Structure 1
Amino acid sequence: MLWWIGAGVAVVVAVLAGVADWRRDRRDDLDRVGWVDWRSMQMFALIAAAGCAIIAQHG
């Protein structure tokens, strides 16, 4: 059960990172750059979600 919760949290983080990246791409002031690489965070969150789901199915 705990692995499913981890997978769910990772999916939520991936969705939020996707929204943040979408907002960053459409910002008005192009000189205001952020320090978080949202695309990488989204990728790692999706990998973590897949890993947690695989472990939950086998465990």
Structure 2
Amino acid sequence: MNDSARLMVIAGAVAALVALVAWIGDRRRMRRRNMDRVGFMPWTPIFFWSLLAAVLLLGLGGRTLLGA
């Protein structure tokens, strides 16, 4: 595996981790007990963009890894 593919896989894994944290944050916000305690983080867009980045980066890194 060359350096660019390794970098894409690492960046994709980090983006997937960010997507997981954002998904958990969004789920916690939707299930909060006190509806007046609204957070300031836009969890849904963070989840969307980090998941998109993770899918693209892991897909390109996997494609390079498999030699396709």
Tell me which interval the TM-score lies in, with the shorter structure as reference length.
0.7 to 0.9
1:48 aligns with 2:68: no
Larger Rg: 2
Deviation of 1:51 after TM superposition, in Å, equals 2.3
Aligned length: 59
Question: Tell me, which stretches of 5 or more residues in structure 2 are unaligned?
Answer: 1-5
TM-score (norm 2): 0.76
- For residue 25 of structure 2, what is the amino acid of its counterpart? A
Alignment of 1:3-18 (within 5 A): 3-18=8-23
Q: Report the counterpart of residue 43 of structure 2 in structure 1.
A: 38
Task: Tell me which stretches of 4 or more aligned residues in structure 1 moved more than 4 Å.
Answer: none
CA distance in 2, matches of 1:47, 1:58: 18
Question: Tell me, which stretches of 5 or more residues in structure 1 are unaligned?
Answer: none
CA distance in 1, matches of 2:59, 2:32: 37
- Root-mean-square deviation (CA), in Å? 1.5
